[in-house]
Amino acid sequence: MSSLSITLIQTNLHWENKKANLEMLSKKIEGIKEKTEVIILPEMFSTGFSMKPELLAENMEGETVQWMKKNSAEKKVILTGSIIIKENNEFFNRLVWMMPNGKYGVYDKKHLFAYGDEQLRYSAGSKRVIASVKGWKINLQVCYDLRFPVWARQSPISIKKEPVISLEYDLLIYVANWPERRSHAWKTLLQARAIEKQCYVIGVNRLGEDGNEIHYSGDSMIIDPLGEIIYQKTDEEDIYTFKLEKNNLTEVREKFPFWKDADSFTLNNL
């Protein structure tokens, strides 16, 4: 069974300063010595969680996407995190899944944070994205999506040419700018998603204080399919690499096949 090495980068961010953030993150990525296959950055890693997309947005040929292509190719890893994108005169909080060959997938944040007026500045996405690498299926989501479990619903699927039913994905990733004042919800919901979806869950959050004097404690986490915390870091910058094991996931799902008893329904907009 395959393994997958993933690196989490929990870091402070320079408020609305792309140049400083990209220079800082380049050094952190370059300094990773462990063998890794996926590097995960926080939500809006080049700017912080800004409500000024008209000043900070770029298109998919812009500086930050080009930076992702360069670093992904040089490090020979998949690089992911969300940035502010303008497309067809709309702004999106867009997660980019950049591969070393320069090809990429994108996920536009579905649930916009009305408490912070995100829905007044950005357009919501309408489609989930499940990436694939080394036989792993990875559901990519952004921050506030965490509060809506139906959006992360696991659907049993048939494997072609085999009489086998499997689950739709193996790993659920959230990139975030989740404030410290609601960190209990962040930590609790990440564990809940792992337990209910019977998958690994990774949450990568930022650290420090933004331009609105909102404090972030990080609390980036890796959680196993039973809801046990493998890794957590609070109030400290950190770069952490861990190898996920597919056989551990398979063993949990076979020993506790709770997913077979799930309610049967579909979502029209998935």
Give the residue numbers annotated as catalytic, written as ranges. 43, 109, 143
SS (H, E, C) the chain: CCEEEEEEEECECCCCCHHHHHHHHHHHHHCCCCCCCEEECCCCCCCCCCCCHHHHCECCCCHHHHHHHHHHHHHCCEEEEEEEEEECCEEEEEEEEECCCCCEEEEECCCCCHHHCHHHHCCCCCCCCEEEECCEEEEEEEHHHHHCHHHHCCCCEECCCCCCEECCCCEEEEEECCCHHHHHHHHHHHHHHHHHHCCEEEEEECEEECCCCCEEEEEEEEECCCCCEEEEEECCCEEEEEEEEHHHHHHHHHHCCHHHHCCCCCCCCC
